[in-house]
Amino acid sequence: MNHNFLEIEEERLLQEKIARDTLERYSGSPVEDFQPYVLLTNFSKYVQYFADSREVPVIEGSTFKVAHSPTEKVSILDFKIGSPAAALVVDLCAFLPIRAALLLGMCGGLRRHYVIGEYFVPIAGIRGEGTSDFYFPAEVPSLANFLVQKIVTNVLDETQTAYHVGITHTTNKRFWEFDQEFRRRLKATRPQAIEMECATLFMGGYSHKLPLGALLLISDLPLNKDGIKTKKSSENVFKTYTGEHVEKGVQIMRALDVALKNEAKGIFRGNRKRFESTILD
């Protein structure tokens, strides 16, 4: 074992300690309570539903809210909104023995035939947010983990749930709907959905070798006349779809657990071996 390897190992151990300490501080939860499968979300209502329906407590730290269901081997974590927060949560969770993660988020549908309440399964994200540049150069595509998304579509097919598959545009500009140049770019690049986290999460997951996918709920149709999300329409979406979206996420994690027990291809996780592989790369 050479001197260079020892230095890298010492740095890794320090990074792991800081990451675990930060996750405990931000979530208010001991890292030991996190389950092998993590649902990531932007919505405290999702965490509250999960906790109430499983009769487990909501735990709140300085930034995140979490709840854990050991019987299902699933945790849910609200990391708030935006690509910097998405990068942070992946960087922290990468140091836990998590087998896979799934974003339960919302998106704007960019096709006229889409319907609010349908699901969107992103296979890739346009890197319009900038944060993913910290992980890889611009020529590296932002792809969701194939196996995770395959399990997502399997569950949706089995439950006869309407969904669309395509590319999402991830942006840091939340109030973009009245920016005509931005709207023209969307039409030129032809994504089917828009949101604020996927490209970052996919790049962070790829960098850390953390299998990560997404199941998005179409919450608005911002390119349509009168299709921009309002306070009233947002409240209706939460009231109507929160339970179903969360339960779909749990179903996907159960199915993913079965797939991993059968040694399905497309997943690579480990602790020491994972970091040694990174060093050798």
190-228: burial string, b at 16+ Cβ within 10 Å, e else: ebbbbbbbbbbbbbbbbbbbbbbbbbbbbbbbbbeeebe
What pLDDT does residue 269 have?
57
Residue 89 belongs to domain spanning: 1-265
Which 3 state secondary structure label does DSSP give 64? coil
Residue 272 covered by a domain: no
What pLDDT does residue 1 have?
54
What pLDDT does residue 9 have?
87
Residue 151 pLDDT greater than 80, yes or no: yes
What mean pLDDT is reported for the chain?
92
pTM: predicted TM-score of the whole model, two decimal places: 0.92
Residue 89 pLDDT greater than 50, yes or no: yes
Residues 6+ apart with CB under 8 A from 177: 183, 222, 228
Give pLDDT tens digits for 235-256.
999 999 999 999 999 999 999 9
Residue 274 covered by a domain: no
Mean pLDDT of 75-99: 96
Residue 94 covered by a domain: yes
Residue 256 covered by a domain: yes
Residue 281 pLDDT greater than 70, yes or no: no
Residue 91 pLDDT greater than 50, yes or no: yes
Give 88's pLDDT tier (boundaries 50, 70, 90). Answer: very high
CATH number for position 34:
3.40.50.1580
Q: Are 49 and 67 in contact (CB under 8 A)?
A: no
Residue 8 pLDDT greater than 50, yes or no: yes
Residue 68 covered by a domain: yes
Express as a percent the part of the chain with pLDDT over 90.
Answer: 87
Give 278's pLDDT tier (boundaries 50, 70, 90). Answer: very low
Residue 28 pLDDT greater than 90, yes or no: yes
| Domain total in the chain | 1
What pLDDT does residue 265 have?
62
Give pLDDT tens digits for 192-223.
999 999 999 999 999 999 999 999 999 999 99
What pLDDT does residue 264 have?
62
DSSP string, 122-176: EEEEEEESSGGGGTS-TTS-EE--HHHHHHHHHHHHHTT--EEEEEEEEES-SS-
Residue of 204, 200, 19 lying closest to 96 (CA atoms)? 19
Residue 268 pLDDT greater than 90, yes or no: no
Residue 279 covered by a domain: no
Q: Which of 2-11, 103-112, 133-142, 261-270 has the lowest mean pLDDT?
A: 261-270
Q: Which of 5-9, 63-67, 244-248 has the lowest mean pLDDT?
A: 5-9
Q: How far is CA 11 from the centre of its chain?
A: 27
56 vs 278, residue with greater confidence: 56
How many CB atoms are closer than 10 A to CB 112? Answer: 9
Give pLDDT tens digits for 95-126.
999 999 999 999 999 999 999 999 999 999 99
Distance CA 87, CA 103 (A): 13
Distance CA 93, CA 95 (A): 5
Residue 279 pLDDT greater than 60, yes or no: no
What pLDDT does residue 230 have?
94
265 vs 131, residue with greater confidence: 131
Residue 275 covered by a domain: no
